[in-house]
Structure 1
């Protein structure tokens, strides 16, 4: 259940930033948004992996 909610939050965040990138097509802003989405995706993948504590 936590993975589904995390995936939903990631998709909503990416869509929000995608809309921002389309409405304000500044090259610098698009680069920062792309980097941000990559970092959030990396965090999502690493935090959702099976860890046995």
Structure 2
């Protein structure tokens, strides 16, 4: 259930930021959004791949 909610939240973030990029197509905004998506995705991968003791 936790993985499902994490993936759902990431999809909502991508949807919101995608709409923002479509309506405000500026290079600097696209760069910041790209970095944000990469960091959020990396955090999600690390969180899901944690070994539980």
TM-score category (smaller protein)? over 0.9
Q: Give 1:50 deviation, angstroms.
A: 4.0
1:1-53 superposed matches below 5 A? 1-53=1-53
Give TM-score, length-normalised by structure 1. Answer: 0.93
4+ runs deviating over 4 angstroms = none
Q: TM-score, normalised by structure 2?
A: 0.93
Q: Does 43-52 or 11-20 show the bigger shift?
A: 43-52
Structure 1: stretches of 5+ with no match in the other structure: none
What CA distance in whole angstroms lies between the structure 2 residues aligned with 1:50 and 1:29?
Answer: 32
Aligned length: 53
**RMSD after superposition:** 0.8
Unaligned runs of 5+ in 2: none
